Chain A
Amino acid sequence: MTFEPDLTDAELLEIAREAPEGDNRSFAELVRRHQQRVFTNCRYLTGSPTDAEDLAQEVFVKAFFGLAGFEGRASFETWITRIKTNHCINFVKKKRLDTVDVEPEVAANAARKEPEAPRRMERQATKDRVGAVLLEMTETLRIPLILRDMDGLAYDEIADELGVGLSAVKMRIKRGREEFRRLFAEMHADQAVG
C-alpha cells in the first residue's frame, strides 16, 4: 500500500490511528515527510551529530506511542516540534555538552567541491557553512537561536522550554544572531581567501 502524495498530515494521522496494530505504514509516511527537519533540528540543537539519528528516531517513537493522546488541535509538525524540543533539551541537560563536536570536514567540503554546477554548489556551500557555524556556536546562544529561527517558536515558548526569563531569551537570540552572522562572515572570508 502506498499513500497518495496529496494526503495531508492530518489525514495520514487519522489513518495511523485507525490502522490495526502492527500496521505502521501511514506513520512511516509521516516519518518520511518530516525526517529531514527533525534530524536536522536534533543535530544542531544538541550540537552532537553522532547522536542526531538516535534522537530523531526516539522523537518519532515517542510521537507514535503518544498518538492516542494527540487531540489534533495543532498540526503534526507543531506537535512533533514540541516533542523534539523537549527530548533534545533533556538530552542536552543530561549530557551538559560544554564542548561541541565541530565537524571540520563540513566546512572544508564546501571549499573542496569542484565548480561543476555553480549555483547548486554555491547553495550547498552556504548550507554547509550554516551547519558548521551552528556547530561552532556555544550551546547558550545556539539553542535559543535554533528554537526561534529554525523552529519558529515564540519567545515565551522558548523561555518555558529553557526555564529562563523572557528578557534573557530575547537577549540570547539577539546575541546568537550577531554571533551567527559574525562566524558566517568569517568562514566565508576564510574560504574566499583559501
Chain B
Amino acid sequence: MADDDTPDLDPTDLGEPIAELRELRDDPPTGFVARFLDRLRRRDLSRQLTTLGWTGFGAVFVEFLKVIFSMFETSPRDEGGPE
C-alpha cells in the first residue's frame, strides 16, 4: 500500500462515545447455545447422510463397472478351449 498517502488515524484517540463500541455487548436470545447444539447435530447428521449417500453411490458404481468389464472378459469356451 505504498500509494497510500492518507494520514493514519490515531487508533487510541477514540474518545467518547466511540470507545463505547468496544464494550458493546447485546445478550443473544435465551437458549442460544442449546439451539446452536441442535443445529450442530442436524448439520452433522446431514453430513453423515451425504457421506453415506456418496459411499453407496460409489459402491453401486463400482459394481456397475465390474458388470461392464465382465461382459468383455473372454471365457475359455469363447477361445475354443476344451469343453
Chain A positions within 8 Å of B, measured between CB atoms, are 22, 24, 28, 31-32, 35-37, 39-40, 43-44, 52-53, 56-57, 60-61, 64-65, 126-127, 129-131, 134, 145-146, 148-150, 152, 155-156, 159, 165-167, 170-171, 173-174, 177, 180-181, 184
Contact = CB atoms under 8 A, between A and B. Distances in A.
Interface string B58-78: 000000000000000000000
Given A22-B44, A127-B20, 9 more contacts: A37-B25, A39-B27, A53-B28, A130-B21, A130-B24, A134-B21, A148-B11, A149-B14, A180-B17
Contacts of B1: 156, 159, 165-166
Contacts of A177: 14, 18
The CB with the most chain A CB atoms within 10 A, among B4, B7, B26, B33, is that of B26
Contacts of A173: 9
20 contacts: A22-B44, A35-B32, A35-B33, A39-B26, A39-B28, A40-B25, A53-B28, A57-B35, A61-B39, A61-B40, A126-B17, A126-B20, A127-B23, A129-B17, A131-B24, A146-B21, A149-B21, A150-B24, A165-B1, A174-B9
B35 to A, nearest CB: 7
Nearest to B1: A166
Contacts of B21: 130, 134, 145-146, 149-150, 180
Contact of B37 (A24, A53, A171): A24
Interface of B: 1, 4-9, 11, 14, 17-18, 20-29, 32-33, 35-37, 39-40, 43-44
Given A130-B20, A156-B1, A36 B40 contact: no
Given A36-B27, A166-B1, A149 B22 contact: yes
Contacts of A126: 17, 20
Contacts of B25: 36-37, 40
